[in-house]
A and B are shown apart, each in its own frame.
Chain A
């Protein structure tokens, strides 16, 4: 069976067939078909969603326009005539309303920013003057558009200027425009395709979460085991040393977006760790790393072991190593791992890392910002597990608190993120956008709980979701999702307790859970088989509600979702 193909609809005031071609032929996940709506009919296509082009039920809409065709008053700006910024903003606002009108039709709407051709110098030195210049006015139009649209959770304005910068002097192509009504050179469409696909991967939860790094000649210059940490090239007044320090700064900044760092290095562990702890120019310190495997074993095996320790999947991993042989080894052994080619010149490492298209997410939650700290806390938990005798004793020592609450404006983005990213403890692997989930949860017979988890080592954040659909006195669990970070700490049982408790309160007879297998969610059925729920065959598990589902000892529940 072929890979599922998502569908994109390209709505533009220019001929978007070239862009459609690049999207169709792009071989990065996921496969995507592209249909260009009849060009030059943007307003009609946005307003009339019964048109032929909408009948393919697209998953994604890209609405790419030129400023003067949507905002007529902008023609006055281009002609250096008198214009009113208020009139321009009115037109931008009307267009924003049209864009907002399509967000429920698709999982994702992308709107590239408006641009002026680079060769247009406008008023030259006056072009950034407010109320006069083309560039100034266009910036304000773009900002107005962004501000109008940023509350729509599945609509994003993309910075098209970056595509133009990369394409350089061929970004605007008058020949293609006059002969084919295509304003941009093909490099622009290639860059746009990569950003469009990256955004869509973010929406469906296919985002890389962990960068695994080599050390010698990757994080610092030199072989630490040979020359000692004091002689490494890192920082200082040395162009190579500075570039390694910058590379580390970029990695550190990625941790602030919720991306984890790990180390897989062929080295003596004590020597390598000493370098990380002691080198004064190290930007990254031990607490910046979620884990490491520093030994002389095969790197592919070390990657597998580290990913397993961190309860992540290989599809979450980016592997970065200066050695092409090691890269080839990991690429061949672990095809799910992304192994980018690195430039030979070390000074280009930072820009190579910054240009990766694998970290896009539709939101950045509190949990993302604290993820690295959470893994440091997890190391503390594991250490305490080794020190404490029985599993029961260990669970008691953690002092776990689970807080249940309904879906609300504050937790919506994180809930959607968890729903779309979680693979292992996930009953049905249902993927939904924020608007789809809100719509679903608003139905009278639907109920959704989120769970925040904390213990003496720290706050793991919103890490669990259960949702229920009620029909004829039977409650069917629609989502049962728990982050791998908190699996096997009795949160699974806590979540079932909350569901059964609710079912009793509204007089249901039975709770059912149907497990839909995927290649990754085997842990979920393993839990259900041992949960006390009765297997009725066909992967359906059931609990008779006349019996309570015991709250596990050692977990304290704060249930804010009652009422």
Chain B
């Protein structure tokens, strides 16, 4: 499995973890197009916090590295790397390079 695909799998694990707390209607889709922040996002602020923390923990478990998504990202910015699951995967990929 390539690096990007591994990151995708890790992000989907984080999605699974957050979905355990959400109602079915609130579930985050496991798709790279899923919008995480901004006006079109379905996640509320708590779900986003939970997702970011879960993503960081899963990255540490899987890749053995500590990344800090919350520190670097202004979540409301339109060019935020956390805009969608896909942009987040790309951003994490650059952190690993």
A residues with a Cβ closer than 8 A to B are 15, 17-18, 21-22, 24-25, 170, 173, 175-176, 179-180, 182, 186, 190
A24:B23 contact, CB within 8 angstroms: yes
- Most chain B beta carbons < 10 A, residue from A15, A22, A173, A176: A176
Residues of chain A within 8 A of B17, CB atoms compared: 186
How far apart are B97's CB and chain A's nearest CB, in angstroms? 24
B49:A176 contact, CB within 8 angstroms: yes
How far apart are B61's CB and chain A's nearest CB, in angstroms? 10
Closest to A179 in B: B49
- Over the window 46-70 of chain B, the binary record of Cβ atoms lying under 8 Å from chain A Cβ atoms (1 yes, 0 no) is 1001101110110000000000001
Instruction: Answer yes or no: B72 CB below 8 A from chain A CBs.
Output: no
Contact flag A173-B50 (CB < 8 Å), given A24-B23, A179-B70:
no
Contact flag A179-B20 (CB < 8 Å), given A15-B46, A17-B46:
no
- Which of B22, B23, B50, B52 lies in contact with A186, CB distance below 8 A? B50
19 interchain pairs (CB within 8 A)? A15-B46, A18-B46, A21-B21, A21-B22, A22-B20, A22-B21, A25-B23, A170-B57, A175-B53, A175-B70, A176-B49, A176-B50, A179-B49, A180-B46, A180-B49, A180-B50, A186-B17, A186-B50, A186-B54
Contact flag A173-B21 (CB < 8 Å), given A15-B46, A17-B46, A179-B70:
no
B residues with a Cβ closer than 8 A to A are 17, 20-23, 46, 49-50, 52-54, 56-57, 70
B70:A25 contact, CB within 8 angstroms: no
B57:A21 contact, CB within 8 angstroms: no
CA distance A22 to B21 in the complex (A): 5
Residues of chain A within 8 A of B23, CB atoms compared: 24-25
CA distance A170 to B22 in the complex (A): 21
CA distance A18 to B17 in the complex (A): 11
How far apart are B39's CB and chain A's nearest CB, in angstroms? 21
Contact flag A25-B49 (CB < 8 Å), given A175-B56, A179-B70:
no
Given contacts A21-B20, A24-B23, A176-B49, 15 further A-B contacts (CB under 8 A): A17-B46, A18-B46, A22-B20, A25-B20, A25-B21, A173-B53, A175-B53, A176-B50, A179-B49, A179-B53, A180-B46, A180-B50, A182-B49, A186-B17, A186-B54
Interface contact tally, CB-CB below 8 A: 38
How far apart are B18's CB and chain A's nearest CB, in angstroms? 9
Residues of chain A within 8 A of B49, CB atoms compared: 176, 179-180, 182
Residues of chain A within 8 A of B46, CB atoms compared: 15, 17-18, 180
CA distance A24 to B21 in the complex (A): 8
CA distance A560 to B46 in the complex (A): 60
Contact flag A18-B53 (CB < 8 Å), given A25-B21, A186-B17:
no
Closest to A189 in B: B21
Closest to A178 in B: B70
Closest to B20 in A: A25
- Which of A175, A179, A186 lies in contact with B21, CB distance below 8 A? A186
How far apart are B52's CB and chain A's nearest CB, in angstroms? 8
Contact flag A176-B53 (CB < 8 Å), given A15-B46, A17-B46:
yes
CA distance A180 to B51 in the complex (A): 12
How far apart are A534's CB and chain B's nearest CB, in angstroms? 52
How far apart are B35's CB and chain A's nearest CB, in angstroms? 20
CA distance A320 to B25 in the complex (A): 37
CA distance A186 to B19 in the complex (A): 12
Closest to B68 in A: A175
How far apart are B72's CB and chain A's nearest CB, in angstroms? 13
Residues of chain A within 8 A of B52, CB atoms compared: 179
Closest to A26 in B: B20
CA distance A15 to B53 in the complex (A): 15
A18:B50 contact, CB within 8 angstroms: yes
How far apart are A20's CB and chain B's nearest CB, in angstroms? 8
How far apart are B30's CB and chain A's nearest CB, in angstroms? 17
Residues of chain A within 8 A of B21, CB atoms compared: 17-18, 21-22, 25, 186
Residues of chain B within 8 A of A173, CB atoms compared: 53
Residues of chain B within 8 A of A190, CB atoms compared: 20
How far apart are A509's CB and chain B's nearest CB, in angstroms? 55
How far apart are B21's CB and chain A's nearest CB, in angstroms? 3
CA distance A179 to B56 in the complex (A): 14
How far apart are A487's CB and chain B's nearest CB, in angstroms? 44
CA distance A186 to B46 in the complex (A): 13
CA distance A82 to B20 in the complex (A): 44
How far apart are A309's CB and chain B's nearest CB, in angstroms? 41
How far apart are A168's CB and chain B's nearest CB, in angstroms? 12
CB-CB nearest 4 A-B residue pairs? A21-B21, A180-B49, A179-B49, A175-B53
CA distance A183 to B88 in the complex (A): 26
CA distance A175 to B54 in the complex (A): 10
